[in-house]
Structure 1
Amino acid sequence: MRSVELFAGAGGLGMGLGASGFEPELVVEWDSHSCRTLRDNKARQVAQVANWNIVEADAREVEYGGVRGEIALVSGGPPCQPFSVGGKHKGQADERNMWPEAARAVRELAPRAFMFENVRGLMREAFGPYLDYVLLQLRFPLQGPEEGEDWEEHAARLRNSVAHDEQQALRYNVSIHAVDAADYGAAQRRRRVIIVGFRSDEPVEWQAPTPTHSQEALLWDQWVSGDYWKRHGVSATQRPEMPASVGKTVERLRAAGVRPNGSAWRTVRDAIEGLGEPGKVKVKIANHKLQPGARSYAGHTGSPLDAPAKALKAGAHGVPGGENMLAYYDGSVRYFSVREAARLQGFPDEYEFPSSVAWGEAMRQLGNAVPTQLAYAFGSAIADALSAAGRARRRVA
């Protein structure tokens, strides 16, 4: 299960895919700060990245000729800023738009499968024509843009190929999935888009992984059985009031009398358990320092303790943005420490951000990361599909 990872950032997607069985031959990231984080953890032999071949380079300048043998997966999270709700909404006109490079990697490496992650904003109506173009590029990767051809002209030529796709030497069956990382075990409401493709010669019947966690299971554990509070040692007098917004759902669950299947959404309290308050713990914990200056303002009020965190931000509303805060029940707020934010993204505690990396920069890297739990869920499903396809081919042979 050899892979190539593009736009690696701080490594969340790659670590999740590694846990699902993929071994990267090449890990590409252009940002020097993110590369410093990756290299520091590699040098300390952190298991998840110890064997990564990290290349600091612009994806537009990467040559894939040195990658030998079959690649099972090409993966990455092309920069999301061009399509983010909180960004400048330039889309395909933004110089940070790297979807053409994702398509080039597929074209030149011809992997058995690919997986790309991006913001849910990519599916907005305004970007609909360009999203269709992205999917067409990935479906017919050999038909790259011709010299002087703009994206709309290229899209028209690709659409003409739809009627003749059986003649394509290399084509992919592509699907797009709107997901919430909380549904797969991340302690964060992170709504994203996952694009998955399998080479058409792979006998794959693909289905996206079924969510494993739910809000209803969490509400049952909190407001029906009370198991959530017992597990955390929160007495009846210490518990907050039940949010009015979930009252009807809780009433329905009580009336049904049966706990929903599956695991409960993980909360901020679940994720940061055992760390203690930053600035007050006596035992030194890497990256767990108090950052002063947190404040609420319109639209940025922080994350409550007993729900999944709001999506960590990378800086569209200031670095690192007002959402990267913990909101207490008395109305006070504080910034998440870097270690707390790392836990919200599923990073292991042994994975550290170098002391030379400023708090805001570390939070930017984390705000851009893919939760490892989400990457693992999709990576495992892709790995299983490829393994089944390999067995089917061997039976035929």
Structure 2
Amino acid sequence: MSADAIVLGAGIIGVSTAVHLAKRGKSVVLVDRRGPGEETSYGNAGLIQREGVVPYGFPQQIGMILRYALNNRIDAHYHLSAVPSVAKFLAKYWRNSNVSRHQVIAKAYAPLIEHSISEHDALIREADCEHLIKKDGWTEAFRTQAKQDAEVREAERLKREYDLNFKVLDARQLAEKEPHLSNDFVGGLTWVEPWSVLDPHALTMAYVKLLERLGGRFVRGDATTLVRTGAGWRVTTDEGTIEAKDVVIALGPWSDTVTAPLGYRFLVGVKRGYHMHYGTRDNKVLNGWTMDAERGYFLAPMNQGIRLTTGAEFALRDAPKTPVQLERAEAVARTIFPLGERLDREPWMGARPCTPDMMPIIGKAPRHDGLWFAFGHSHHGLTLGPVTGRLIAEAICGEKPFMDASAYRPERFAI
């Protein structure tokens, strides 16, 4: 087979990229070893985070770092055996998270986030999947007044600098919003602009169907078989070899399996995460996406049940599951909401690809024609899928980009 473009990786980033290429008249083949959206794009909190202009940084306070070192928290966990392997990434991540550098990064990162809702909205309408979307934001619930006051101050800063909107809730207003939460909380803060997704996998599949209506194809194949040809690139799939002038690497945490053999060395770390779905007891209802702010876990009322998601686990990408954070989170969550039985056979685990400067890698490969990178989106893969896809498609097609993407170029790393 031949095509104009091959997209390697059928998560939300790769699928969105393939859709945008097909919208521009390109013949596109989307390739993955598994079905679309079955890796990291499957298991997330289901938020299109319009408020997420400040990337998740590494703690700077010594006291907080020491508390994390005890390795008994919900929001972060690490494998001691993995520390030597991830130390270089963590050191650079920590340096980039200092206050002054973090603010500079947020300014560069914010334009991507700014377009997250509008770019998803365009694809959602074309894919006819509005039924998967809720547009009522998400809520942080606070156990202490000190925590609420600190987060409100930060929200006020973000409103001044980035025009983000929020509502502060006292205990009564939070109880009206979520009447079946316990009374452990003194109040909350609702970010009103983000959208939530009732089934992230179904959203990805809706975009795949849109791709197929536009003439694109999905096939299973092995991205590591990618080789250069005289005219471009070739990859082997279950349906034979495919050749194309352009190829996009959108393999998330597995991107190095293709970029490294081509001579590119990106320092990309992995934050693993877990989720489990639950029923509810006594017909109780969770109305909206809710974060237990001090404990660091999410409860999200999705189509499959209430999804409980954990924070970050620092481990080797392919190490066996260790869902200790999920066990800790479930024990706490059951004290604040009447969760019922587990609905999944076992905890789900995914791996988020993270760069040390917390921004994705988007753009043309410096040393190869027709090779494009679109990975490293950390916690915001779902949020930034359509934005990234449009930027890559515009670059491949020689169009003027709808926003400046120079801050995310691969050349910012020593490669």
Structure 1 length-normalised TM: 0.29
Question: Which has more strand, going by share of residues?
Answer: 2
Q: Which has the larger radius of gyration?
A: 1
